[in-house]
Amino acid sequence: MRIELNRKESLLRQAISGLRHHRWGWIALWFILFLLLATIFAGFLSPYDPYEQNRTKSYHPPVRIHLIDEDGLHWPFIYNYYLVDPIFKRYEPDRTKKYNIGLFVKDSTYHLFGLIPCNIHLFGVDSPARVFLLGSDLHGRDILSRLLYGGRVSLSISLVGVFLSFILGLIMGGIAGYFGGWVDNFLMRFGEIIMSIPGIYLLLGLRAIFPTSLSSVEIYLLIVVVLSFIGWAGLARVIRGMVLSIKEREFVQAARAIGSGHMRIIIRHVLPNTLSYTIIALTLSVPGFIISESALSFLSLGIQEPYPSWGNMLTAAQSVRVLTTAPWILIPGLFISITIICFNFLGDGLRDALDPRFKE
Amino acid sequence: MLNLTSIFIISGRLETIKYFIFIISLIFLLGCPKKEKIPVLKGSETPTYGGSFVLDSISDPKSFNPVIAKETSTTMITDFLFEGLTQINPFTTDMEPRLARSWEYSPDGKIWTFHLRENVKWFDGRQFTADDVVFTYNDLYYNPDIPTSARDILTIDGKRIKVEKVDTYTVRFIMPKPFAPLLFALGMEIMPKHILEPMVKAKTFNSAWGVNTPPDKITGTGPFMISEYIPSQRVVLKRNPNYWRTDKTGNGLPYLDSIVILIVPDQNSSLLKFQAGETDMISIRGEDYAVIKPTEAKGNFTIYNTGPTFSTTFLFFNQNPKAIPQYKLRWFTNKKFRQAIAHSVDKETIINNVMAGLAFPQDSALTPASKFFYNPDIRKYEYNLDKAKSLLQEAGFKNKGGRLYDSEGHHVEFTLFTNSENNQRVNIGNIIKSDLDKLGIKVNFVPIQFNTMVTKLDATFDWEAIIIGLTGGVEPHNGRNVWHSSGQLHMWNPRQAKPVTTWEAEIDRLFEDGATELDKEKRKKIYHRWQEIAAEELPVIYTVTPAALYAVRNKFGGIKPTSLAGVIPYIEEVYLKK
């Protein structure tokens, strides 16, 4: 028991110290942690409710924050913009009144951690001005707020999907490799059947039978669960291969000799030894889920308006008009790319840190 | 006949340009600070022969057979190849002669005699005669083996029109009772008997003239004929040298040598191809106006706004007792409930944000494009949430803690579908949902696939509210399949054996009267009354109708903006300026 604990600690320590030497992996780790925190505190960090439509501020460009007025240096302030041309969406600032950017201002109510009702936002301005740091979309909704809330959906669902398919893959692969024989044969063939299911068509079918009273976020969560159930087979194969060799090692035989049960041996002794591989594979498969979220939202299988997600926010940037006249709609795409790159860097760094072949 | 539209099925044959209605002059835009001048053709230009006109189409034609064609990608090509006995004048909206030279009818309005033009030849040189007309109606449109939507329009009280030859150039149409939309219905394409009769006899007509038919086998009377078709790339049409029409000085038409239709994958590439100078004319979506307008001078083209279209987008509730809970049915069949919803549709925001400012609010069952039959003096539903609240209160609904409850204590909540492929409808749904939230109504807004939605609408009836669109045309009688209580597309409660409500019974009567009334002014009154009832009872809640916008290169003459036929009233009169 004690030996196991030490091993786990050392794995974490190993990972951290290894990552420190891998500069990009280290930066990526911090960025991902920052992003996760930001989405957890989305309500507090975002200035507005992500569903609030400012109907006279459609496709509002990012506001300019002014630091200098006619008297010199000034507390950061913005001007209120009003629409002068509804076709070309041209906005002009009203320079007669300055709106100071306030800190810890009261605005729409949100629920901190989903529980505590709260209406304090990190920053904001007085109405009717709107501090659209990243501009607004067609309905005049704040892109920054939607980005934070959308990140919550995109990231959390990706993590759920990854963990589900890894738990399944580990258990299936572990059992198959450990017991061998007909169990192995059965599980692996079963996995191959699962792998041969065409996912997109399965999802198209499932989407049609899900009850329509569920919100699209709930439906997407169900879809992710389904995706995980058909996505474990690839990992299970690799784990099985690793387990086949690990089960012959002395410590496994020792555990067997002192009479440990099969499940105990698999979970306590065999699988932890595949951990270095699993962690890397896990990190590297998060981007896959983020990308499939955007792809599925694009095919209207994913999260649907008005719920924000990075994928469906990017879907709004499909037309020439948006690309040429409101390029800030593309910002979610930037976030998807950066997040994916970060997960890849992190996975890379972890591999360098944990893979024994890189140690020398 | 109205057609369900989606981005896939861009309505049927009746949306084709020749059926549009002309609007003389309309203010360019609602809510647009700048007013545009409608360009005027310079009178001194003399037309010249030659040149080619390049258009585009989002999808390939499915066949070159106009009788069974259902999709605009096919009819936009067959419209150049085939002609009917009559056509709508795009300027006056009256019916004018095409293959028929003139006509007269008996005093009781049941027998119509048409005199055909004697100088019309098929592409292969054969003379066009009364035999072709009789064959087209009796053996094609009335042939039960041929799936054509034209038959519905040509059937009066379940009976067909008798079509007989009088002599080589005279045809007689005998009807069971007077039928006002007859001239409109006779705009249908006439087909060559000498080529198609063997196919009808061999029962192969339904696959005749498919896309792999050699181009010279496709025979019509129109100004252009097919020269080549390369799937997914282009259709090339060449000038018909024997076309019967001439210009004022007696020169043969058309002026153009060829028309090229490029097949493009989507509307964005259509726009990009036009901007790159590869095509000569496109129809512009409102949202693309801001992209293309700044390049007008550089690209040497002009944008024409021809005013409101026939295209509608609306919200409606399920009033079919078969598939929804009884208490919800009581809300949806309550007129005041529907009126309250109508008052919460923010049409101005929809126009400005979703339609990029290029659309018109719609309250009537006909859009302002149906100029003659359009009734502007009906009940209008402006955006007013206070009015909506008081209407709901009158209807017995109560607002408790920001949530709306009916008199039996049910929380007012419904599912709203629209097809997810259509961004405009999804955005409109978003705006409506956000306003209904303010009334305390919980809307589960679910964009789904078009085909799934049509199945629900047409077969399973398990829906509560839907946003969808229809396109119409100049003839109000074609709305019969939507508005008559027995209609296939009477979507809120389809195919009723007997009208369920008194107002539906009255609309049924009006549509029957409208079809048999030959006096134009009396017909107008009948259809005005229908629009009044529709606006009062609100089985469907209209939103906005888009403006039609076209961009055409300045090097072409014969371009005149009409709301009925876009900017090309007669394709044979288009010419290249020298």
Which residues are registered as beta bridge partners of A106? Answer: A120
State pLDDT tens for residues B52-93: 999 999 888 888 998 887 777 888 899 999 999 999 888 877
Question: CA of B433: which chain A residue's CA is closest?
Answer: A306
Q: Alpha helices of B259-320 — where are they, by DSSP H?
A: 267-275, 286-292
DSSP state of B10: B
Single out the residue of A320, A319, A296 nearest to residue A309, CA to CA. A296
Cα–Cα distance for residue pair A146/A307, rounded to 1 Å: 9
By the CB < 8 Å criterion, does A58 face chain B?
yes
State pLDDT tens for residues B464-512: 999 998 887 888 888 888 898 888 788 898 888 889 999 999 999 999 8
Strands B311-317 and B540-542: antiparallel
**Domain co-membership, A93 together with A153:** no
Has residue B38 got a pLDDT over 70? no
The domain made up of B311-380+418-426+446-546 has a fold known as: Dipeptide-binding Protein; domain 3 (3.10.105)
**Inside any domain, residue A9:** yes
Cα–Cα distance for residue pair B265/B59, rounded to 1 Å: 7
Of A55, A140, A304, which is closest to B446 when you measure between CB atoms?
Answer: A304
Are B317 and B409 in contact by the 8 Å Cβ rule? The answer is: no
The verdict on a CB contact (< 8 Å) between B33 and A84 is yes
**Average pLDDT, integer, range B224-236:** 93
By the CB < 8 Å criterion, does B197 face chain A?
no
Has residue B33 got a pLDDT over 60? no
State the pLDDT at residue A9.
55
State pLDDT tens for residues A294-352: 788 766 677 887 889 888 888 888 778 888 888 999 999 999 999 999 998 998 888 88
State pLDDT tens for residues A152-166: 888 888 888 888 988
Has residue B23 got a pLDDT over 90? no
Single out the residue of B184, B52, B263 nearest to residue B475, CA to CA. B184
State the pLDDT at residue A276.
80
Residue A306, burial from CB neighbour count under 10 angstroms (0-12, 13-18, 19+): buried
The alpha carbon of residue B322 is apart from the nearest alpha carbon of chain A, in Å, by 18
State the pLDDT at residue A357.
57
3-state secondary structure of A117: strand
**Inside any domain, residue A320:** yes
Single out the residue of B271, B351, B353 nearest to residue B550, CA to CA. B271
- Name the band, by pLDDT with cuts 50, 70 and 90, for residue A63: very high
Give residue for tokens 């409660």: B493
By the CB < 8 Å criterion, does A309 face chain B?
no
Strands B442-448 and B413-419: parallel
By the CB < 8 Å criterion, does B352 face chain A?
yes
By the CB < 8 Å criterion, does B426 face chain A?
yes
Of A59, A86, A320, which is closest to B288 when you measure between CB atoms?
Answer: A320
The verdict on a CB contact (< 8 Å) between A306 and B433 is yes
Question: CA of B438: which chain A residue's CA is closest?
Answer: A52
CB atoms within 10 A of CB B299: 16
**Inside any domain, residue A48:** no
State the pLDDT at residue B9.
33
**Average pLDDT, integer, range B112-123:** 93
State the pLDDT at residue B41.
44
What residues of B are in contact with residue A301 (Cβ under 8 Å)?
A: none
More confident residue, B180 or A205: B180
The verdict on a CB contact (< 8 Å) between B356 and A86 is yes
Helices A275-298 and A143-179, packing angle to 10 deg: 130
State pLDDT tens for residues B325-339: 999 999 999 999 999
Q: Which long-range contacts (CB under 8 A, 24 or more apart) does B421-426 make?
A: B421/A300, B421/B6, B421/B7, B421/B8, B421/B449, B421/B450, B422/B6, B422/B7, B422/B450, B422/B469, B423/A318, B424/B313, B424/B354, B424/B355, B425/B313, B425/B467, B425/B468, B425/B469, B426/A304, B426/A305
**Domain co-membership, A203 together with A281:** yes
Tokens in use for B490? 């009477």
**Domain co-membership, A33 together with A123:** no
State which amino acid sits at residue A109. T
State pLDDT tens for residues A250-264: 888 898 899 888 888
By the CB < 8 Å criterion, does B29 face chain A?
yes
What residues of A are in contact with residue B447 (Cβ under 8 Å)?
A: 300, 304-305
- Name the band, by pLDDT with cuts 50, 70 and 90, for residue B22: very low
By the CB < 8 Å criterion, does B304 face chain A?
no
**Inside any domain, residue A47:** no
**Inside any domain, residue A156:** yes
The alpha carbon of residue A58 is apart from the nearest alpha carbon of chain B, in Å, by 6
By the CB < 8 Å criterion, does A306 face chain B?
yes
**Domain co-membership, A68 together with A111:** yes
**Domain co-membership, A162 together with A279:** yes
By the CB < 8 Å criterion, does B345 face chain A?
no
Single out the residue of B86, B68, B87 nearest to residue B78, CA to CA. B68
Cα–Cα distance for residue pair B195/B102, rounded to 1 Å: 26
**Domain co-membership, A231 together with A100:** no
Give Cβ neighbours of residue B64 (< 8 Å, ≥ 6 apart): B74, B77, B78, B81, B209, B210, B211, B213, B218, B226
What residues of B are in contact with residue A317 (Cβ under 8 Å)?
A: none
State the pLDDT at residue A7.
52
**Domain co-membership, A236 together with A322:** yes
Domain boundaries, chain B: 311-380+418-426+446-546
Which residues are registered as beta bridge partners of B499? Answer: none
Looking at chain A, the whole-number percentage of residues with pLDDT higher than 90 is: 28
CATH number at residue A272: 1.10.3720.10
The verdict on a CB contact (< 8 Å) between A139 and B433 is no
By the CB < 8 Å criterion, does B546 face chain A?
no
**Domains in chain A, number:** 2
The CA-based dihedral angle spanning residues A299, A300, A301, A306, taken in that order and rounded to the nearest 10 degrees: 140
**Domain co-membership, A25 together with A155:** yes
Of A53, A85, A304, which is closest to B420 when you measure between CB atoms?
Answer: A304
What residues of A are in contact with residue B357 (Cβ under 8 Å)?
A: 86-87
State pLDDT tens for residues B512-568: 899 888 888 999 999 999 999 999 999 999 999 999 999 999 999 889 888 777 888
By the CB < 8 Å criterion, does A213 face chain B?
yes
Backbone angles phi, psi at B283, to 5 degrees: -95, 135
Cα–Cα distance for residue pair A254/A245, rounded to 1 Å: 15
**Domain co-membership, A34 together with A66:** no
By the CB < 8 Å criterion, does A139 face chain B?
yes
State pLDDT tens for residues A9-40: 567 787 888 788 888 889 999 999 999 999 99
Are B292 and B284 in contact by the 8 Å Cβ rule? The answer is: yes
State the pLDDT at residue A135.
92
The alpha carbon of residue B426 is apart from the nearest alpha carbon of chain A, in Å, by 8
From the candidates B328, B424, B430, B442, which should be mutated to test the interface with A, based on the most A CB atoms within 10 A?
A: B430
**Inside any domain, residue A25:** yes
Single out the residue of B31, B251, B243 nearest to residue B121, CA to CA. B243
In chain A, positions 68-87, which contact chain B (CB-CB < 8 Å)? 84-87
Looking at chain B, the whole-number percentage of residues with pLDDT higher than 90 is: 50
By the CB < 8 Å criterion, does B33 face chain A?
yes
State pLDDT tens for residues A212-248: 677 777 877 888 888 888 888 888 999 999 998 888 8
**Inside any domain, residue A45:** no
Q: How big is the A-B interface in CB pairs under 8 Å?
A: 91
**Domain co-membership, A98 together with A185:** no
The verdict on a CB contact (< 8 Å) between B32 and A86 is yes
In chain B, positions 443-502, which contact chain A (CB-CB < 8 Å)? 444-449, 452
**Inside any domain, residue A49:** no
What residues of B are in contact with residue A86 (Cβ under 8 Å)?
A: 31-32, 352, 356-357
How far CA B294 is from CA of A37, B226, B302, in Å, comes to 44, 36, 11
The verdict on a CB contact (< 8 Å) between A86 and B357 is yes
From the candidates B7, B273, B285, B446, which should be mutated to test the interface with A, based on the most A CB atoms within 10 A?
A: B446
Single out the residue of B276, B265, B269 nearest to residue B301, CA to CA. B276
Count of all residues that appear for chain A in the document: 360
Residue range(s) defining the domain that contains residue A90: 56-137
**Domain co-membership, A133 together with A110:** yes
**Domain co-membership, A27 together with A75:** no
